[in-house]
Amino acid sequence: MTTRGTRAADVIATIEAQTEAAIARLRQASALREELGAVRGTGSCEGVTVTVSSTGVLLDVDLGPGLVGGVDLRRRLLTAHRAAQRDVADRVGDRTRATWGADDPVVLRTEHETARRTGPRLVRDDVSR
């Protein structure tokens, strides 16, 4: 093969490798999206437990026996809700880092924004949660 033919073959091989890598990353993103849809977080405060979706939307509130309403109950609900949002953020972060790696720029930006909104991580990586 001539030098020009070799260069063309190298270019084609590079493009094919980049295409395969992009397809693999797309498959990873799709699988992660599916997995994150099922992630739930929980938080508790003095007998009140709340459950949130992977985006932090309140899904359930469990009021322990004997709880009485008023300002105290409101405080407990809000505290438990914030704890559940932080919990789900940690769980989503665990899965995101497991998929893309801790040094990925998207992961780093996402974690920075999450910490700004919900505070620092409560637990280390654990994708089994």
Instruction: Convert the pLDDT of each residue in 50-80 to its tens digit.
Output: 899 888 888 888 887 777 777 788 788 888 8
Phi, psi for residue 128 in degrees, rounded to 5: -80, -15
Place 122 in a pLDDT band, splitting at 50, 70 and 90. low
Residue-level pLDDT at 54: 86
pTM of the model: 0.61
Per residue in 15-48, pLDDT tens? 999 999 999 999 999 998 888 888 999 998 888 8
Strand arrangement, sheet containing 58-63: 41-45, 48-52, 58-63
* Residue 48: strand pairing partners: 45, 63
The rounded distance, in Å, linking the Cα atoms of 75 and 20 is 52
Residue-level pLDDT at 111: 84
Superfamily per CATH, domain 38-118: Nucleoid-associated protein YbaB-like domain (3.30.1310.10)
- What's the sign of the alpha-carbon dihedral 28, 36, 111, 123? negative
Domain coordinates of the chain in residue numbers? Answer: 38-118
Residue 119: what residue type?
G
